[in-house]
Amino acid sequence: MTTTRDRLLTWLDAERENIVTLLMDLLRARSPNPPGDTRDAAKVITDYLDRHGLSHRIISPHPEMPNVVAAFDAANPGRHLVLNGHIDVFPVPEDHHGWSSDPWQPEARAGKIYGRGASDMKPGTIASIVTYVALSKLQEALFGKLTLTCVSDEETFGPWGARYLVEHHPEVLGDCMLNGEPSGPESIRFGERGPLWLEFEVRTAGAHGAYVHATESATKIAMAIAGDLETLTTLTGEVSGNVQSYIDAGRATMDRMMGEGAGDLVSQVTLNIGMIQGGEKVNMIPSHCRFTADLRLPVGMSKEDLLPKVAEIVARYPQAEWREIGGAEPSWCAPDHEMVGIIQKNVEAFGRPRPVPIVSIGGTDARLWRYADVPAYVYGPYPYGMGSHDEHVDIEEFLHVVRTHVLSAHDYLSRG
């Protein structure tokens, strides 16, 4: 007897080349953020949905940053699953420094696809799109509702993307959310740290470079503040025993998926000085310096826990001012939710290691659903070259993620 799962796998096998082509098309549609123009990428998605006869709508509070939303109700009442992926990507240096090929012309070689967005996160977004199309063919056998959200503006916290949808279109929240951000196929992310972006500005009188007795150096003061901020990295968060036990159990997997040391970082504050600008000339004492800091908060810590400590540091330097320029709170949901077990079962059925629930050191739009008390989980490919050069995805790994999303969404919607 042919089951609905069998039908899905047969369809996926038949569509293999079309799915790879769809990824190549989406990669070819440039969508760096900044500036954040995703209109070409959105058209690739809507054209694909049109070819399959599926209705959709464009929600575009910013004219150059459309969000593609589609939904269908199954034949039977049940739960609401939301699929989410973003279509904007990191920018690339004008000279394509470090790239072995044009990052805007995706190239397949040695079983991998290279191009900007080939890891973060166009493969995961394709997994959501293909899942929606595949399950639309089985509406009579499913329960509940399935919603697809392909959003813009994720790289800048989503004021025109997922955040806008959640705040103004609560119908996209649902009962559970599945996302395909690059996470590594041996892990399932149930939480993530929270970024806190700060800008510091220092002003002094300035003088000739030989007259160090006459004035303080704005750049030296900025360096001192940055050094003091480093003391915050000894701070850790506090979570319940259940969540903490999953964090501890996932540290080794985090090291494998995100690099050695990631497992240790997940529980503590980290600091990156992203940009620093100061001075006019080598023999002038700078009168002005500005720098930005990216602090990452572990689960169990709020920015309200950290901001007073930042204020204490800056108070030591009357020449300095500072402000918050962006950020999001840490987020997490149940690490033992039904969706986690569904994903694990499907991954093992494909002959791969059982994925471990972990907390991410980076951020995703999944946090927005968790803030609304909707369990949100991330399962995606390995982050090869994410935010760097020669970004790529292994083709078989990409197709594995697609299959896992399709069957996991199917299993979640297979009962009322």
Per-residue pLDDT at 241:
78
Residues 10, 151, single domain; the answer is yes
Residues 148, 9, single domain; the answer is yes
Q: Is the dihedral of CA 169, 172, 177, 180 positive or negative?
A: negative
Per-residue pLDDT at 89:
98
Tokens for 33?
């953020």
Nearest to 396 by CA among 119, 110, 111: 111
The predicted model scores a pTM of 0.93
Nearest to 36 by CA among 168, 196, 165, 154: 154
Can you give the CATH number for the domain in which 224 is found?
3.30.70.360
Domain boundary among 327, 347, 366: 327
Which domain does 181 fall in, by range? Answer: 4-192+330-412
Residues 83, 186, single domain; the answer is yes
Nearest to 414 by CA among 79, 6, 8, 65: 79
Residues 179, 269, single domain; the answer is no
Residues contacting residue 337 through CB under 8 Å, at least 6 positions apart = 176, 190, 375, 377
**CA dist 143 → 317, 400, 414 (Å):** 61, 25, 6
Beta strand segments in 317-400, E: 320-327, 331-332, 356-360, 376-378, 392-394
Residues 156, 16, single domain; the answer is yes
Per-residue pLDDT at 416:
75
Residue 112 buriedness (CB in 10 A; 0-12 / 13-18 / 19+): middle
d(CA 335, CA 359): 9
Residues 180, 40, single domain; the answer is yes
CB atoms inside a 10 Å sphere around CB 200:
24
Nearest to 199 by CA among 299, 80, 324, 89: 324
Region at 101 (left for phi over 0; alpha for psi -120 to 50; beta for the rest): beta
Per-residue pLDDT at 1:
66
Split into its structural domains, the chain has a count of 2
**CA dist 4 → 242, 289, 406 (Å):** 35, 62, 11
Domain boundary among 327, 350, 377: 327
Residues 262, 294, single domain; the answer is yes
* Tens-level pLDDT at each residue, the chain (416 residues): 679 999 999 999 999 999 999 999 999 999 999 999 999 999 999 999 999 999 999 999 999 999 999 999 999 999 999 999 999 999 999 999 999 999 999 999 999 999 999 999 999 999 999 999 999 999 999 999 999 999 999 988 889 999 999 999 999 999 999 999 999 999 999 999 999 999 999 999 999 999 999 999 999 999 999 999 999 999 999 888 789 999 999 999 988 888 899 898 889 999 999 999 999 999 999 999 999 999 999 999 999 999 999 999 999 999 999 999 998 999 999 999 999 999 999 999 999 999 999 999 989 999 999 999 999 999 999 999 999 999 999 999 999 999 999 999 999 999 87
Residues 206, 300, single domain; the answer is yes
DSSP 364: -
Q: φ and ψ at 188, to 5 degrees? A: -125, 120
Tokens for 78?
């049940």
